[in-house]
Amino acid sequence: MKRFVLAAVAAIVMSTAAYADTVKIGVVGPFSGPFALQGKNFKAGIDAYMAINGNKVGDNTVEVIYRDLPAADPAQSKALAQELVVKEKVQYLAGFYFTPDAMAVTPILKQANTPLVIMNAATSAIVTKSPLVVRTSFTTWQTSTPIAKVAHDAGVSKVISVVSDYGPGVDAENAFKAAFEKEGGQVVEAIRMPLSTNDFSPIMQRIKDSGAQGVFAFLPSGPTTLGFVKAYNENGLKAAGVKFFAPGDLTQESDLPALGDAALGIQTTFHYAVSHDSPENKTFVEAASKAIGNKAELSFPAVGAYDGMNVIYKMIEATGGKQDAAKAVEAVKGLSWVSPRGPVSIDPESRHITQNIYLREVTKADDGTYYNKEVQTFEKQGDPGLAAAK
């Protein structure tokens, strides 16, 4: 009898130990190289979430392990994800700034029994590649659709489209075209540039030559977007009255000091502005500024990461810290909460985030700093790209 009791106690202790464990999250992002500031924002969002909510979910301690992926590199992305799963024994994969890097990881999720919580990559189709993908960022379909109405309302009927030639760029081009044609507008030319393009003068010449009244543009945020908007100003397009329409990737807050007055008045549509006026955002901006060390460096990947952590904490709670990817994902389908960006929910079918998209205008504050001022809200936007992604 005594032996039996001892064995039972030992079994309970062991099983408790197995549950009351460290749950590891492997986060892949650009933490060095030209896009390092974007990765730094992932980390700031994660640190802010853990500073506010602690590092415990029930009895489990959460640990985040970072891996650096400086550029879009699918083979390296897959290798890093495999190393995180096999060697580090992470229960969750998260982060992923560039679409090709997220895409490369989807085939390993099922066997690894690991959900993938995408904190940035914005091509619609990613969520269709595995039932274990959940996304807390945005899609370029979601952010580029409303700007077409803005362009039409501004009296523009002929636009030239310029995008980076990869997933989110092609999606942005298709989204803008579909919505703009619905408004009665016309895309007179559609240019797709290699992702590596950094001399934009020839493109600016083509925009001028096209005779379009406006340009629609998408490039992934970073040195790319800063260079493109600078070129638009420096090549005289702004002065010539060619109007600029884009999703908010093109005017991320961390680029605004370098753009200066030249960016004033640029209108973009996006899911998040650092200036968003709400108590939730105030709490977030305070914590994320502290984490990043300089409020001027805050940008949208921080909010994708912050909300991604919220989703992962719910998953850990629902599974009691046990590795069960299907159960974890099931638990967040339909989940709704108030994010720093506004009210959001996880669409139970697509596992992508439903959210408000805001029209914003680059504005100078009294203290001389620049910000994206929200001027209009397109409420509860799902992903219009999902039909196209199937």
Please report, as ranges, the residues that interact with ligand PHB according to CB under 6 A. Answer: 97-99, 120-123, 168, 220-221, 249
Neighbours of 128 (CB within 10 A): 15
For ligand PHB, the nearest residue by Cβ is: 220
User: In the numeric block, which tokens belong to residue 83?
Assistant: 């190393």
Q: In degrees rounded to 5, what are phi and psi of residue 236?
A: 80, 10
User: In the numeric block, which tokens belong to residue 208?
Assistant: 């001028």
3-state secondary structure of 245: strand
161 in Cβ contact with 216 (< 8 Å): yes
Least Cβ distance, residue 69 to ligand PHB (angstroms): 12
- Cα distance between residue 10 and residue 171, in whole Å: 56
Residue nearer to ligand PHB on the CB measure, 40 or 152: 40
Residue nearer to ligand PHB on the CB measure, 304 or 321: 304
Least Cβ distance, residue 254 to ligand PHB (angstroms): 12
| Burial per residue of 26-42, b for 16 or more beta-carbon CB atoms within 10 angstroms, e otherwise | bbbbbbeeebebbbbbb
- Cα distance between residue 327 and residue 214, in whole Å: 48
Going along 34-114, which residue ranges are E strands?
Answer: 56-57, 60-68, 92-95
User: In the numeric block, which tokens belong to residue 236?
Assistant: 């005289």
179 in Cβ contact with 149 (< 8 Å): yes
User: In the numeric block, which tokens belong to residue 352?
Assistant: 């992508």
Name the helix (H) or strand (E) containing 327: helix 325-332
> Which amino acid is it at 292?
I
Least Cβ distance, residue 222 to ligand PHB (angstroms): 7
> Which amino acid is it at 388?
A
Least Cβ distance, residue 123 to ligand PHB (angstroms): 5
Q: In degrees rounded to 5, what are phi and psi of residue 21?
A: -130, 180
Residue nearer to ligand PHB on the CB measure, 121 or 132: 121
131 in Cβ contact with 64 (< 8 Å): no
3-state secondary structure of 36: helix
Least Cβ distance, residue 265 to ligand PHB (angstroms): 21
95 in Cβ contact with 122 (< 8 Å): no
355 in Cβ contact with 144 (< 8 Å): no
Residue nearer to ligand PHB on the CB measure, 254 or 267: 254
Residue nearer to ligand PHB on the CB measure, 156 or 172: 172
Q: Are strands 56-57 and 116-118 parallel, antiparallel or unpaired?
A: unpaired
Strand partners, 135: 118, 352
